[in-house]
Amino acid sequence: MLRVIGKRLLLLVPTLFGLSVLLFLWVRSLPGGPATALLGEKATPEAIARINEAYGFDRPLIEQYLTYVGKLLQGDFGVSTVTGRPVLEEFANRFPATLELAVVALIFAIAIGIPLGYLAARHQGRILDHGSVVLSLLGITIPVFFLAFMLKWAFAIQLGWFPTDGRQDPRINATHVTEFYVLDGLLTREWDASWDAIMHLVLPAIALGTIPLAIIVRITRASVLEVQGADYVRTARAKGLMEKTIRGRFVLRNAMLPVTTTIGLQTGLLISGAVLTETVFAFNGIGRFLRDAIFNLDYPVLQGFIIFIAVAYSLINLLVDVSYGFIDPRVRVQ
């Protein structure tokens, strides 16, 4: 297992190298050059020359790339052209909010998606099965921003059951240790702060987790249906094993491999796809910060975000591969 992990980490090196080359060439291929992109089309030649000299854009491309990679290896992703602060520092301040939202959305998707998909497969052709298929189709087709607006209008504005925006009520004098607001409230025993943070997470998490929920339902249903007809399941029934044992040990466990892969992919999408959800609910995370960076042409932030997502996807896929060995002993042996 350690050898597999080592190989996967080594494969991360050429992936990030290729990505760094593409990002480097992308910025240099902007109309008018990166200096014009930063300053705008009405920038004076003197201002462009100052930017080129300050950022080293007037140096040879090879020298620029080596400098760029050297800074990346040192954890220097550049400075935001809008806030004037290091990109890595901006990410560190906002990443806990996005991660907290993504985790809650993933828990929501898994807790409902796997049982619903399993029950739909067990009751194939019945009302529960047809209902789960229709709901999953609706979950995939409804745009995230539209669902977010509808949830906010119905449950926050009309009914007043949940807060309308933000991560926590500003009137609560909460102590933030880790910047994960729910966890901070538990660690400091500020139960009101933790509960308020949970209430602020409910609607954004549902909006963000609906598409992963629909996909998990469909994959779980298809996988369980396939496994139920396998030879080893029929053999287990012929041997007289209890139905509970067959469902847990033979059906559900073997059906979890494609479901686990789907969950891993959806985890990366939750982190990278939180832009619209965080914008609707004024959730101060990476997604909202990225939206501002796109509108303000903050290229250092965009480059840093792309590299961050690439690393996150690679590590999540590594965790998925490792989990295969715990789910299926055959994978462990191979």
Domain ranges of the chain: 2-73, 94-333
Least confident of 213-217, 228-232, 298-302, 330-334: 330-334
307 and 20 in contact (C-beta within 8 Å)? yes
- Sign of the torsion formed by the C-alpha atoms of 308, 282, 196 and 161: negative
Q: Is the pLDDT of residue 41 over 60?
A: yes
User: At residue 25, what is the residue type?
Assistant: L
In this prediction, residue 192 has a pLDDT band, given cuts at 50, 70 and 90, of confident
Residue listed under structure tokens 């950022």 = 55
Give me the pLDDT at residue 230, please. 72
User: Mean pLDDT across the stretch 10-29?
Assistant: 76
Give me the pLDDT at residue 25, please. 77
Q: CA-based angle 282:284:288, to the nearest 5? A: 75
Least confident of 25-39, 173-187, 255-269: 25-39
Q: Is the pLDDT of residue 217 over 60?
A: yes
User: Mean pLDDT across the stretch 19-36?
Assistant: 70
166 conformational bin, left if phi > 0, alpha if psi -120 to 50, beta if neither: left
Distances (CA, A) of 172 to 122, 169, 200, 280: 47, 6, 13, 22
Alpha carbons 36 and 328: distance in angstroms, whole number: 55
Percent of the chain's residues with pLDDT above 70? 85
Position with higher pLDDT, 232 vs 37: 232
pTM over 0.85: no
Alpha carbons 223 and 217: distance in angstroms, whole number: 10
User: Mean pLDDT across the stretch 49-58?
Assistant: 71
Predicted confidence (pLDDT) per residue in 71-120, tens digit: 777 777 777 777 778 888 888 888 888 888 888 998 998 999 888 888 88
Which two structure tokens, joined as six digits, stand for 314? 């690679």
Q: How does the average pLDDT of the chain come out, rounded?
A: 79
E strand intervals along the chain: none
Give me the pLDDT at residue 12, please. 73
Count Cα neighbours of 18 within 13 Å in the Cβ-side half-sphere.
5
User: Looking at the domain covering 94-333, what would its CATH class be?
Assistant: mainly alpha
In this prediction, residue 126 has a pLDDT band, given cuts at 50, 70 and 90, of confident
Q: Which range among 5-19, 70-84, 198-212 has the greatest average pLDDT?
A: 198-212
Give me the pLDDT at residue 34, please. 65
User: Mean pLDDT across the stretch 296-310?
Assistant: 78
